[in-house]
């Protein structure tokens, strides 16, 4: 399935920044065409690509850039979504621990009461269905500091909140789970998207508790324990005011696939 992807980010830099971008598709995705251009006041800026060999995430680092008007333009045409490798022993350990936004220690009793035992792929899919049925998707309803327990209490959020709560419930029942940031053809409103990969036997199964995009069309950008490890923009030093973000992701030459969200699907 051929997909055409673009993203454009704008910002105003008030003092020289060091920042990391997470907008390029992951290593291992079949990239037929790709272009990343970063400019400051119209002049091109050098970026350093840093590869995470464990996940295939490709980060692009800006160093001592600014002040001025920053613009990031990414475009790619890809033939697949970036398949996950087998579940490793290390990922089984990391995947069941609490993390920055997955405060599963606060939700263990909730997981026992609401989702019960989780032992196979049918149970894993059932957890995502539970989250879908108990949350409302409301743009702007959550804070960047909200974790899974905040989302559970608020009963609303956006894709990252749905993902964090799903991961917390899975991890609390002993199922390794991680977050995937991705391009998502069919997503509405269009943006970067966050979904969950859960370990079933030795493979990763993708869950989208929002049910806003077909899982078979997803294209992997980055993979991590939660949103803290998969952000599309992280400012380390300096002053930066975010301007705006535009994302497009479309399937070329064929109809967008359908998804019942109750069958087993893997990214890629």
CATH fold group of domain 89-182+194-229: C8orf32 fold (3.10.620)
Model pLDDT for residues 203-223, shown as the tens digit of each residue = 999 999 999 999 999 999 999
Domain limits of the chain?
3-81+230-251, 89-182+194-229
Map tokens 């697949």 to a residue: 80
Residue 178's Cα: distance from chain center in Å? 9
Domain 3-81+230-251 has CATH 3.60.130.10: no
Partners of 218 in the beta sheet?
none
Model pLDDT for residues 77-132, shown as the tens digit of each residue = 999 999 999 999 999 999 999 999 999 999 999 999 999 999 999 999 999 999 99
In degrees, to the nearest 5, what angle opens at C-alpha 142 toward C-alphas 137 and 147? 105
3-state secondary structure string across 156-174: EECHHHHHHHHHHHHHHCC
268 pLDDT above the threshold of 90? no
pLDDT of residue 49: 98
The model's pTM is 0.96
Q: What is the DSSP string of 77-92?
A: EESS-----PPPHHHH
């Amino acid at each position: 399935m051929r997909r055409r992807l673009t993203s454009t980010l704008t910002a105003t830099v008030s003092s020289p920044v060091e920042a990391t971008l997470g907008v390029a598709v992951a290593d291992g995705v079949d990239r037929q065409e790709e272009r990343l251009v970063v400019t400051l006041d119209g002049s091109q800026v050098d970026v350093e690509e840093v590869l995470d060999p464990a996940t295939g995430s490709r980060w692009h680092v800006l160093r001592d850039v600014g002040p001025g008007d920053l613009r990031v333009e990414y475009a790619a045409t890809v033939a697949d979504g970036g398949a996950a490798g087998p579940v490793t022993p290390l990922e089984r350990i990391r995947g069941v621990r609490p993390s920055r936004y997955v405060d599963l220690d606060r939700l263990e009793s909730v997981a026992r009461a609401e989702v019960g035992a989780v032992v196979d792929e049918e149970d894993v899919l059932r957890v995502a269905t539970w989250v879908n049925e108990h949350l409302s998707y409301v743009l702007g309803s959550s804070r960047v500091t909200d974790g899974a327990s905040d989302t559970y209490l608020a009963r609303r959020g956006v894709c990252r909140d749905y993902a964090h709560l799903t991961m917390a419930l899975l991890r609390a029942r002993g199922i390794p789970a991680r977050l995937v940031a991705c391009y998502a053809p069919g997503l509405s409103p269009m943006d970067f998207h966050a979904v969950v990969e859960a370990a079933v036997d030795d493979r990763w199964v993708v869950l989208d508790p929002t049910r806003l995009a077909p899982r078979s069309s997803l294209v992997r950008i980055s993979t991590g324990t939660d949103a803290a490890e998969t952000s599309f923009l992280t400012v380390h030093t300096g002053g930066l005011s975010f301007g705006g973000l535009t994302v497009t992701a479309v399937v070329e030459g064929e109809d967008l696939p359908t998804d019942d969200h109750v069958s087993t699907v893997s990214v890629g």
